[in-house]
Amino acid sequence: MAIFDTLTAATALETAGFTPKQAKAAAAQLHAAAEAGRGELATKTDLDITKADLRAEIASVKVWTLSWTAVIGGLIVAAIKLIP
């Protein structure tokens, strides 16, 4: 994960016309904002785990759907045979 370099940010802000005090404050706020969202970011491993879970769930739903399709088909056949 990339690290936010506050010194580089403050220097760039000073070069752009901020006072040193403004640049340090702005860089500190940018750093805080970057850190705040870090816990909510997903890694590739997180995504791979989620994909595997979803694939397993989809496979389970497919089996369930096919099972119920067979049951309903059997009920339809039985109902047709019972009709005189």
pLDDT tens figures, 2-36: 678 888 999 999 999 999 999 999 999 988 888 87
Model confidence at 39, pLDDT cuts 50, 70, 90, reads: confident
Q: What DSSP line would sit under 20-38, residue for residue? A: HHHHHHHHHHHHHHHHHTG
pLDDT in tens, 57-70: 999 999 999 999 99
Torsion of CA 39, 40, 46, 49, to 10 degrees: 130
- Which sign does the torsion angle of CA 65, 66, 70, 71 carry? negative
As given in the structure block, the two tokens for residue 31 are 């750093």
What pLDDT score does 1 carry?
53
